[in-house]
């Protein structure tokens, strides 16, 4: 019986493993794709397109005001970009790198960093108003609101699309000054786990501090997450829904005397490494996560105030955005060396980004 | 009513009450300063020209912990100003912005003098008014240093706003 179940389940597991979604799980890009990085230039309301083979800024798209997070389904032929000011989400065709349309369907106060199901059907779009909206991309309407008590900010989708992990920030007075649409907001210091098929909350993971950016291992078993007041990241067992480890940056005495925070995290090297930013000290760290607690294996001086980290589809290049110095920096994961740097125009403020393996025009697959 | 929602609503009301009280209390509360471990000394010549920044790092302690605080000294139209360049929102560094195109973007062309801008979340502070908050996520203005004296061509900074020590 067990063998039969395994046999039946194998293709499903295989398919799930092959799916790459919302910049979470590594998967090699087929030859018929062009790997690109889309990065929000917040101060100019633009989305920059970077060709990753040449590592050149090849195009700039005008999107919504103050662009924030992006999400792309497994098909990789489209990209959704949230705009904080104006409360819209813009759909981009990643094959032609053109804006298709902008959804203005009441995404609430300042839509933030969402994630999308692998099939491209449901976009989990958080709002500062304190909840996540489930946007049905086929019906082009919001079909569900998920309340977390926190300030909606970052979202991680499981590689198989089964669960969405909602990471509300604790927030400060500025965040609480926003309208809540009558819903209470506290500082819950927990991750909310949602069944991404039923769009219902199925659990929470207490993390002890305000959740910050997170990412997930290729097999979906580990969630790695920055939190407030931790110079490093937490390791979460997604099956047990509990924190099982903590990685801490090694800092000099002078660095320890200057308060900083961790913001931006990505899995690299087939899930064996996690890279994470130290904002105020202008550093990025690499950790071996095959051991617990994770072991620091590299540290890099980057640009001013690193903000976000994204990996290439094969997980062997890491990209770090530094909005205060308008830079995007590429690191060779195997060699642990910087391998390129793009300087955006002064004042662009490059922040959130996503790598996409855009298919050739004849390969369009999803709705 | 759902118990979780009920408890959360109560906590939210409590939080709002505390914030309202803090806002009411703030204007009358005098600023408390804490001593630096050693005085910061900067030649007056370095800040002779208005808005020319002289950067420094000051040292103090808080609950036995050594604290390093980055600051900037500059001359305004009315005198010297020494401010902490760490944004009170999330500890990012702020920049003193003097170039016209960027100032125009930040203040919609309305500012007649330089402003500070946070490098992470773009909060804006008034450089001519002790770093007062103008816009953005920041809950307050920039933390201040106290200039103790200007003597024999040297500006001496001896204290920092006490609240900065637990926040930067």
ipTM field: 0.79
The distance of A133 to chain B (nearest Cα, Å) reads 18
Query: Across residues A265-279, what is the average pLDDT?
Result: 98
Q: Which among A306, A308, A274 is positioned nearest to A293, based on CA atoms?
A: A274
Each residue of B124-143: pLDDT tens digit? 999 999 999 999 889 999 99
The distance of B122 to chain A (nearest Cα, Å) reads 9
Q: Looking at the partner chain, which of B66, B89, B93 has a beta carbon nearest the beta carbon of A174?
A: B89
Interface of B with A (CB under 8 A): 4-5, 8-9, 11-12, 15-16, 19, 59, 65-70, 86, 89-93, 95, 102, 105, 119-120, 122, 136-139, 167-168
Query: Across residues A287-314, what is the average pLDDT?
Result: 98
**Phi, psi (degrees; rounded to nearest 5) at B150:** -125, 115
Residue A228 has pLDDT above 80, yes or no: yes
Chain A, 238 to 297: residues with Cβ < 8 Å from chain B are 253-254, 256-261, 279-280
Q: Can you give the length of chain A in residues?
A: 367
Query: Across residues A171-191, what is the average pLDDT?
Result: 81
- pLDDT for the residue numbered B132: 96
Q: How many CA atoms are closer than 13 Å to the CA of A60, on its beta-carbon side? A: 11
- pLDDT for the residue numbered A290: 98
Query: Across residues B64-81, what is the average pLDDT?
Result: 95
**Phi, psi (degrees; rounded to nearest 5) at A206:** -65, 135
Residue A1 has pLDDT above 60, yes or no: no
Segments making up each domain of chain A, as ranges:
32-363
Each residue of B12-34: pLDDT tens digit? 454 444 444 444 444 557 899 99
Chain A residues inside the 8 Å CB shell of B122: 42-43, 349
Query: Across residues A9-23, what is the average pLDDT?
Result: 40
Q: Does A185 touch chain B (CB under 8 A)?
A: yes
Average pLDDT of chain A to the nearest whole number: 90
Distant-in-sequence, close-in-space partners of B68: CB < 8 Å, separation ≥ 6: A254, A257, A258, B57, B58, B59
The distance of B152 to chain A (nearest Cα, Å) reads 31
Tokens 């903590």 belong to residue: A246
Residue A139 has pLDDT above 90, yes or no: yes
Residue A207 has pLDDT above 70, yes or no: yes
Chain A residues inside the 8 Å CB shell of B68: 254, 257-258
Task: Say what percent of chain A tops pLDDT 70.
Answer: 90
Chain A residues inside the 8 Å CB shell of B95: 324
Each residue of A44-72: pLDDT tens digit? 999 999 999 999 999 999 999 999 999 99
Q: Does A313 touch chain B (CB under 8 A)?
A: no
d(CA A303, CA A36): 21
Work out whether strand A122-127 and strand A115-116 pair parallel, antiparallel, or are unpaired.
antiparallel
Residue B4 has pLDDT above 90, yes or no: no
Of the candidate ranges B2-6, B71-75, B129-133, B147-151, the one whose mean pLDDT is the lowest = B2-6
- pLDDT for the residue numbered B6: 52
Query: Across residues A63-89, what is the average pLDDT?
Result: 96
d(CA B78, CA A288): 54
Contact A242, A225 (CB under 8 A): no
The distance of A157 to chain B (nearest Cα, Å) reads 25
Distance of CA A3 to the CA centre of its chain: 36
Q: How far is CA A276 from CA A213, A232, A268, in A?
A: 10, 7, 11
- Enter the pTM of the model: 0.87
Residue A347 has pLDDT above 70, yes or no: yes
d(CA A14, CA A226): 30
- pLDDT for the residue numbered B33: 96
Tokens 């979906």 belong to residue: A220
Each residue of A147-168: pLDDT tens digit? 988 899 999 999 999 999 999 9
Residue A174 has pLDDT above 60, yes or no: yes
Average pLDDT of chain B to the nearest whole number: 85
- pLDDT for the residue numbered A278: 98
Domain A32-363: CATH class, spelled out: mainly beta
Element at A144 (helix H, strand E): strand A141-147
Contact (CB<8Å) A305/B93: yes
Radius of gyration of chain A (CA): 19
Contact (CB<8Å) A185/B12: yes
For residue A69, how many other CB atoms are within 10 A of its CB? 28
d(CA A209, CA A212): 9
Tokens 């101060």 belong to residue: A43
H helices, E strands: number in chain A: 3, 28
- pLDDT for the residue numbered A31: 58
- pLDDT for the residue numbered A268: 98
Chain B residues inside the 8 Å CB shell of A259: 67, 86, 91, 167-168
């Amino acid at each position: 019986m067990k063998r039969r179940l395994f046999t039946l389940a194998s293709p499903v597991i295989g398919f799930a493993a092959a799916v790459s979604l919302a910049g979470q799980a590594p998967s090699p890009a087929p030859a018929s794709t062009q790997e690109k990085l889309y990065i929000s230039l917040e101060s100019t309301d633009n989305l920059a397109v970077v060709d990753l083979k040449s590592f050149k800024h090849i195009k700039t798209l005008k999107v919504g005001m103050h662009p924030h997070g992006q999400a792309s389904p497994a098909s990789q032929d489209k990209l959704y970009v949230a705009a904080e000011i104006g409360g819209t989400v813009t759909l981009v065709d990643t094959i032609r790198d053109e804006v298709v349309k902008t959804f203005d369907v009441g995404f609430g106060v300042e839509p933030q960093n969402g994630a999308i199901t692998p099939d491209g059907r449901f976009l989990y779009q958080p709002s500062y108003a304190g909840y996540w909206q489930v946007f049905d991309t086929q019906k082009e309407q919001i079909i569900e609101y998920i309340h977390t008590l926190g300030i909606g900010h970052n979202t991680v989708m499981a590689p198989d699309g089964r669960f969405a992990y909602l990471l509300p920030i604790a927030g400060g007075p500025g965040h609480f000054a926003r309208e809540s649409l009558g819903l209470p907001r506290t500082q819950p210091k927990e991750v909310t786990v949602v069944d991404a098929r039923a769009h219902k909350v199925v659990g929470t993971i207490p993390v002890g501090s305000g959740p910050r950016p997170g990412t997930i291992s290729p097999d979906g078993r580990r969630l790695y997450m920055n939190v407030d007041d931790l110079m490093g990241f937490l390791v979460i067992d997604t099956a047990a829904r509990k924190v099982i480890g903590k990685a801490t940056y090694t800092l000099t005495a002078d660095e320890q005397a200057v308060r900083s925070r961790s913001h931006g995290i990505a899995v690299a090297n087939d899930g064996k490494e996690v890279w994470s930013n130290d904002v105020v000290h202008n550093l990025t760290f690499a950790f071996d996560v095959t051991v617990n607690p994770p072991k620091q294996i590299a540290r890099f001086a980057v640009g001013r105030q690193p903000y976000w980290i994204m990996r290439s589809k094969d997980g062997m290049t890491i990209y770090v955005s530094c909005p205060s110095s308008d830079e995007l920096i590429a690191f060779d994961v195997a060699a642990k060396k910087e391998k390129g740097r793009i300087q955006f125009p002064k004042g662009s403020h490059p922040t959130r980004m996503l790598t996409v393996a855009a298919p050739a025009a004849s390969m369009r697959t999803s709705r | 009513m759902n118990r979780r929602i009920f408890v959360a609503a109560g906590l939210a009301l409590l939080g709002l009450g505390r914030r309202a009280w803090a806002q009411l209390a703030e204007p009358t509360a005098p600023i408390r300063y804490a001593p630096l471990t050693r005085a910061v000394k900067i030649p007056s010549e370095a800040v002779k020209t208005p808005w020319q920044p002289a950067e420094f790092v000051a040292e103090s302690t808080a609950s036995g912990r050594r604290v390093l605080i980055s600051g900037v000294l500059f001359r305004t139209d009315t005198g010297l100003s020494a401010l902490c360049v760490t944004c009170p929102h999330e500890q990012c560094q702020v920049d003193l912005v003097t170039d016209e195109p960027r100032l125009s973007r930040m203040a919609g062309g309305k500012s007649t003098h330089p402003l500070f801008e946070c490098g992470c979340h773009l909060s804006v502070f008034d450089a001519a008014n002790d770093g007062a908050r103008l816009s953005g996520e920041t809950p307050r203005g920039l933390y201040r240093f106290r200039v103790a004296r200007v003597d024999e061509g040297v500006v001496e900074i001896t204290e920092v706003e006490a609240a900065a020590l637990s926040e930067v």
